[in-house]
Structure 1
Amino acid sequence: MESKTDRTEPTAPPSAASAAAISAVLGDDDLLREILLRLGFPTTLIRAAAVSKRWLRHASDPTFLRRFRTRHPPALLGFYIRELGARGPRFVPVSQAPELATATRRASAAEGRFFISDCRNGRLLVMDFDPTACRHAVLSPLHPARGKVVLPPAPKQSLIWFFLTENGGGYDGAVAVLMLPIGTTKTKVQVDLLTSGSGVWVAHRTVVIDLPETLPPIAYTLPPVRGKIYSLTKSGHILGLDMTAAKSSLIQRPDKGICSASGSLRRPGATQMTGCWCMTKFVCMRRGIVLRMLW
């Protein structure tokens, strides 16, 4: 007895009317640009540009690319999660889209014993737990060819914080905030901005400011935001530093501000999601888990 096999009927070619409609749409340069503009991922745009020289011309036009970047700003790729007691962080993507598979794989490859202290534009500022010493370094998980860039040794000061530069400053750029109490009463403070470059820290000093009391312990320092750095003190003040104007200020924390138990400054009305409080600087802490977001 002969077994019957299923036969797949050939797909009928599109009708002349459908072909004409498709040609009318894709043959119109204005409509084609609008279609390309609405592609969800840059990787999809690259594949579309390979269709023909005409599509490549539209996809590579500087004006079109500016519109594409405006419409598709960098999105959240995922989280680095470090559980207390774990050897190092692990990466958890927020999307399983095939277009993001390469970026997700590279971000997941950032392994090692380190603590993430800042994250900006796909770069990580980490404290590398080397067997001989703790070093600060910049990692670029999405660009593995850049490798690990070890920052210069930190100045021998206790009041110092490290961050990635706001505009990149080169993929290995970093900035440090150094506070120097002045006088025996320590009611004045001088704040130094240190930028990394050529293997050394370059200092840019700000004005000396008077404090209403002896310099109180700093609870938390936020990374640069629009050229400014803010530190929350345990005495209820915010120390502000204008990086562009090289000026600093000390103001009373608004009553609506919230200081969490860990000393970090949280935005009023911060949203609680999946058991974690989303805080300024995109750090979530709860139930012994620390998360950092990669954009």
Structure 2
Amino acid sequence: MGASTIHDLPDDSLRWILLRLDSSLWLIRAACVCKRWRRVVTDGGADEGRAFLRLASSLHPPTVVGQYHIHTSGDHRFVPSSSPIIDGSRFSVDDFLDKDNQYLRWHVADCHGGLVLLSMTYGPCAGSVPNLIVYDPLTRKHRSISGLPTRNEQGFSYGTREVFLLDGDDGRISVSNFKVLHRHLTVARAATSCVFSRGNAGEWGWRLLSRRLSDEDLYPCCSLYAAGRVDGSLYLGLLESSRIIAIDSTSLVFSMVDLPTRVDTSLFRRRSSSFTVVHGAGGLGPTLPQRASIVHVCGEKLELFRRVQGSGEWVLEHIIP
């Protein structure tokens, strides 16, 4: 009797072994080993194949490839994660930007779906110089965005602005299919929101969001930051308030997230408060979906909220003093 090999394992055992691969790239490589492995990963019957990939996605949510850091010299340096499969040089943006123009200063405003949103923070903003650039580091494709709607006749913007990348109308994102949410906070602490997107006729342009649809009017003077993206929504934290709002990438409707927080939010001005929205594994069953969670850190306390499937209600799951 010959020695046993991995090919002698039944399909169910092989699936559990492949489910331990914590990188989608390694899963693709495993599917290329032989026809049987490919069938286990992708086929095995239509429903069974989708169940395997759904379970693999639930157990191993997407990891952060790396982070961009802006040095004092103005260079954007990409620091990859610890994974050895990442080539940090593939994500460089400095070889794309105009480094010879000393009056232009760019910074990475947001990253989503493999795209980088670059925003110009200093320099003449009139003429042919774009205000924003949506850039794909891997394909080197980009789209320049000019004509921000909050500018004076000299071409400069007063106050602060916040820009975020959103999915296209079909829930996907690429250089030719995206939205940019722009929120302008004036010196007088009044906020306006608009979106840059592609119209039905294929034309690109800005349009003002209806203020009556936006709960952010309750906090017009608060600065926003991206807390996370889950289930087609972008979650935005309010720096000057212990609150969080969500914007649907398709309908562009703002809604305040009602969290049963136990932290005394009246003290938020004396304590730092921040939110992070993440996807968590739903369990070991292949039919159990991922669940969304919100981590709230306020002062020296941490709260973990979980969204109930079906109702959309957020419940407090853990609190760590």
Q: Which TM-score tier does this pair reach, normalised by the shorter chain?
A: 0.5 to 0.7
Mapped partners of 2:17, 2:267: distance in 1: 46
Mapped partners of 2:135, 2:83: distance in 1: 23
Change (3 A) 1:89 1:212: closer
TM-score by length of 1: 0.61
Structure 1 partner of 2:197 = 196
Structure 1 partner of 2:181 = 175
User: Are residue 119 (structure 1) and residue 111 (structure 2) matched?
Assistant: yes
Structure 2 partner of 1:79 = 67
Mapped partners of 1:245, 1:134: distance in 2: 24
Q: Kindly indicate whether the alpha-carbon contact (under 8 Å) linking 2:215 and 2:254 is maintained by their aligned counterparts in 1.
A: no
Change (3 A) 1:155 1:191: closer
Mapped partners of 1:269, 1:209: distance in 2: 26
Mapped partners of 1:58, 1:122: distance in 2: 28
Change (3 A) 1:47 1:257: same
Mapped partners of 2:79, 2:61: distance in 1: 21
The structure with higher relative contact order (CA 8 Å, sep 6+) is: 1
Change (3 A) 1:164 1:242: closer
- Where structure 1 has 5 or more consecutive residues not aligned to the other structure, the ranges are 1-15, 272-295
Structure 1 partner of 2:86 = 100
Q: CA deviation at 1:126?
A: 0.7
Amino acid at match of 2:91: A
Q: CA deviation at 1:136?
A: 0.5
Q: Kindly indicate whether the alpha-carbon contact (under 8 Å) linking 1:258 and 1:265 is maintained by their aligned counterparts in 2.
A: no
Aligned residues: 233
Change (3 A) 1:256 1:31: farther
SS in 2 for 1:75: coil
- Where structure 2 has 5 or more consecutive residues not aligned to the other structure, the ranges are 43-48, 100-105, 152-157, 257-263, 276-296, 302-321
User: Are residue 206 (structure 1) and residue 188 (structure 2) matched?
Assistant: no
Change (3 A) 1:247 1:57: closer
The percentage of counterpart residues that share the same residue type is 23
Amino acid at match of 1:56: R
Q: Which of 132, 139, 143 is equivalent to 1:144?
A: 139
Mapped partners of 2:252, 2:21: distance in 1: 41
User: Are residue 55 (structure 1) and residue 29 (structure 2) matched?
Assistant: no
Change (3 A) 1:93 1:40: same
User: Are residue 221 (structure 1) and residue 227 (structure 2) matched?
Assistant: no
Which whole-Å deviations, capped at 9, do the CAs of 1:11-31 have from their partners, x for residues lacking one?
xxxxx55x2354432xx1111
Structure 2 partner of 1:257 = 268
Q: CA deviation at 1:116?
A: 0.7
User: Are residue 31 (structure 1) and residue 18 (structure 2) matched?
Assistant: no
Change (3 A) 1:64 1:247: closer
Change (3 A) 1:238 1:44: closer
Q: Kindly indicate whether the alpha-carbon contact (under 8 Å) linking 2:274 and 2:298 is maintained by their aligned counterparts in 1.
A: no
SS in 1 for 2:4: helix
Amino acid at match of 2:78: F
Amino acid at match of 2:136: S
Amino acid at match of 1:38: R
Amino acid at match of 1:116: V
SS in 2 for 1:87: coil
Mapped partners of 1:258, 1:166: distance in 2: 33
Q: CA deviation at 1:115?
A: 0.7
Q: CA deviation at 1:137?
A: 0.9
Structure 2 partner of 1:155 = 149
Q: CA deviation at 1:231?
A: 4.1
Change (3 A) 1:255 1:121: farther
Structure 1 partner of 2:53 = 65
Structure 1 partner of 2:77 = 90
Q: CA deviation at 1:237?
A: 8.6
Amino acid at match of 2:182: A
Q: CA deviation at 1:154?
A: 0.7
User: Are residue 135 (structure 1) and residue 131 (structure 2) matched?
Assistant: yes
TM-score by length of 2: 0.57
Amino acid at match of 1:148: H
User: Are residue 165 (structure 1) and residue 166 (structure 2) matched?
Assistant: yes
Mapped partners of 1:24, 1:210: distance in 2: 59
Mapped partners of 1:49, 1:248: distance in 2: 42
Amino acid at match of 2:90: R
Q: Kindly indicate whether the alpha-carbon contact (under 8 Å) linking 1:228 and 1:241 is maintained by their aligned counterparts in 2.
A: yes
Structure 1 partner of 2:24 = 42
SS in 2 for 1:171: coil
Aligned Cα RMSD in Å?
4.2
